[in-house]
Amino acid sequence: MALSLPRGTRIVAATHNPGKAKELAALLEGRFQVVSAGELGLPEPDETESTFIGNAILKARAAADRSGLIALADDSGLSVAALDGSPGIYSARWAGPGKDFGAAMDKVRERLEETGFEDLTAWFSCALAVAWPHGGPVVAVESRVDGLLTFPARGAKGFGYDPIFIPDGGTQTFGEMEPQAKDAISHRARAFAALKAALFD
């Protein structure tokens, strides 16, 4: 029997990041009753896997098993070509325990300064995992969007590293774009398209 997520299902979004929770809810298009892991007081598991897919599955499984609900988890991050793909899966950790992405963006700029800013190629990756509780099945997908970095940071409409990333073919950073415009082309939107094709009615 094929797995599916019928409309109206109550699911937990396995995130404590309010910006990410809001973006996930918007991409779900009102199909489900969504509650975040932060709202439920669920602990954040240690992200011990070496890939975005691995960490998404880990987070989805942890939230599903603790809440008893079907869980959706996202693991995403910025990879910079000149930094050998860093920060990558460590994107959130570069922001520190206080989730200071201003400091994280400064760290990216400082590392690039050491390379002479010759290559500003970068990409956002997003892995999404849906886990059923109590050892149930998991469905996971991954996608990315390519672009270039720009400094200084521009825009305050996004979150994370959005203000320094310009997607290919664009002139605005993700931080300058209206949410609907970003959602139409982002790494998360592309991953959601794959997930919808696999699971949504």
Alpha-carbon distance values, 23 to 1, 65, 66, 121, 183 (Å): 30, 23, 23, 25, 8
Local confidence band at 112 (pLDDT 50, 70, 90 cut-offs): very high
Predicted confidence (pLDDT) per residue in 147-183, tens digit: 999 999 999 988 899 999 999 999 999 999 998 899 8
Q: Residues 158, 177: contact at Cβ < 8 Å?
A: yes
Give the residue among 101, 130, 145, 131 at the shortest CA–CA distance from 196.
130
Residues 6+ apart with CB under 8 A from 156: 163, 175
Looking at residue 1, what is its pLDDT?
A: 37
Residue 34 bridge partners (DSSP): 11
The Cβ of residue 38 has, within 10 Å, a number of other Cβ atoms equal to: 16
Residue 144 CA to its chain's centroid (Å): 10
pLDDT, average across residues 110-117: 95
Q: Where residue 28 falls among pLDDT bands split at 50, 70, 90?
A: confident
Share of the chain above pLDDT 70, in %: 99
How much is the pLDDT for 201?
57
Q: What domains sit in the chain, N to C, each tagged with a CATH number?
A: 10-199 (3.90.950.10)
Identify the pLDDT of residue 87.
Answer: 98
Residue 119 a catalytic site member: no
Report how far residue 106's alpha carbon sits from residue 112's, in angstroms, rounded to the nearest whole number: 10
Closest CA to 73 of 120, 131, 159: 131
Q: Which is the catalytic residue, given 46, 65, 75, 106?
A: 75
Q: Which of 85, 105, 118, 86 lies closest to 155 in space, CA to CA? A: 105
Contact at 8 Å (CB) between 192 and 128? yes
Kindly report which listed range (50-54, 78-82, 135-139) carries the lowest average pLDDT score: 135-139
Give the tens place of pLDDT for each residue, 12-26: 999 887 777 777 777
Q: Provide, rounded to the nearest whole percent, the portion of the chain with pLDDT above 90.
A: 66
Q: What is residue 72's predicted lDDT score, i.e. its pLDDT?
A: 93
